[in-house]
Chain A
Amino acid sequence: MNGNGSQLRFASSVESRDGVAIAIVALDGELDLGVLDVLEEAIGGQADDGSALVLDLSGLAFVDSAGIHALVTAREGLEEGGTRSALVVAPGSNVERTLDMTGVLERLAAHPDRDSALAAVASAHDD
Chain B
Amino acid sequence: MEQTAQPPKPLELRYDAVPASVTDARRRAAEYARDAGAEPEGVELAVAEAVANAVVHAFTDRPSGTVLLSAALDGGSMVVSVTDDGNGMRPHPQRGGLGLGLALIGQLTSAFSVSGAPGGGTTLQMTFPIGTGEAR
Contact = CB atoms under 8 A, between A and B. Distances in A.
Contact of B52 (A7, A64, A94, A101): A64
Interface string B37-72: 000010011001100100110000000000000000
> What size tier do the contact residues of chain B reach?
20 to 34
Nearest to B97: A69
B98 A68 contact: yes
A36 B98 CA distance: 15
Contacts of A62: 26, 44-45, 48
> What size tier do the contact residues of chain A reach?
20 to 34
Interface of B: 19-23, 26, 41, 44-45, 48-49, 52, 55-56, 96-98, 100-101, 103-104, 107
Most buried by B among A33, A69, A101: A33
A66 B23 contact: no
A32 B22 contact: yes
